Amino acid sequence: MTQVSRAEYCVIACAEAWRDAGEILASPMGVIPSVGARLARRTFAPDLLLTDGEALLIGPDGAVEGWLPYRQHLALVTGGRRHVMMGASQIDRYGNQNISCIGDWARPARQLLGVRGAPVNTLNNPTSYWVPRHSRRVFVEQVDMVCGVGYDRAADAPHHRIPRVVSDLGVFDFATPDHSMRLASLHPGVSVEQVREATGFALTVPDEVPYTRGPSARELELIRDVIDPADTRAREVGH
């Protein structure tokens, strides 16, 4: 197999979020999550529903498979039958996410996207996160504003679940007694020390951390020749 890029390991890590998902709606936000969702649909998650982001259900080749009216989309969102992979300007140890502002909400130093649908997403259906640049500015001790709700704030939400956080350094989950963030795998070429240095809080790190699995020859062919022949993934992860 030819050299696998970091971006391609990230595609695989994002695709794995939808393994054995069944017939649910995948809502990936970002290039690499989108490539990952389409790869999952073509390989190990054939029942996955893909959307064009507006009102259509599409196949992995972009062909229209159905119509998804807004009312039905909301029914999927609020009933746990959707798995969204969002971005995060900030995320903390319990999975609280911020995409709204940096600094105090009353007088922010920087205005971002706004809260958008993050609270509804996180309280009503599984929500994973994709972070293309892992740093202490993103992985923070406490988010400046809670948009996506973390485990310490969602004890009674029936569909709240954060399956994984994928960054350009590794994969993270919340499989700890207090649902704080844990290092689940490292992308090849990354060390535990690099991840700790780039994270603004103390991660749970197992004694042995596996590497993120690489793509099979078939998966690599699909990524490079079918799903993303223009290599747009490389622009999102530059190494």
pLDDT tens string 179-230:
999 999 999 999 999 999 999 999 999 999 999 999 999 999 999 999 999 9
Contact 79, 71 (CB under 8 A): no
pTM: 0.93
The total number of structural domains in the chain stands at 1
**Would the pLDDT of 50 be above 60?**
yes
Q: Tell me which residue of 94, 164, 157, 96 sits closest to 125, measured CA to CA.
A: 157
Find the domain containing 220 and state its range.
Answer: 6-236
Domain-located, residue 30: yes
Asked if residues 139 and 199 have their Cβ atoms less than 8 Å apart, the reply is yes
Among 56-65, 147-156, 199-208, the least confident range: 56-65
Instruction: Determine the pLDDT at residue 75.
Output: 75
Pairing of strands 97-98, 90-91: antiparallel
Query: What's the confidence (pLDDT) of residue 34?
Result: 94
Per-residue pLDDT, averaged over 49-54, amounts to 80
**Rounded CA separation 102/74 (Å):** 29
Asked whether residue 114 is assigned to any structural domain, the reply reads yes
Q: Any idea what the CATH number is for the domain that residue 141 is in?
A: 3.40.1080.10
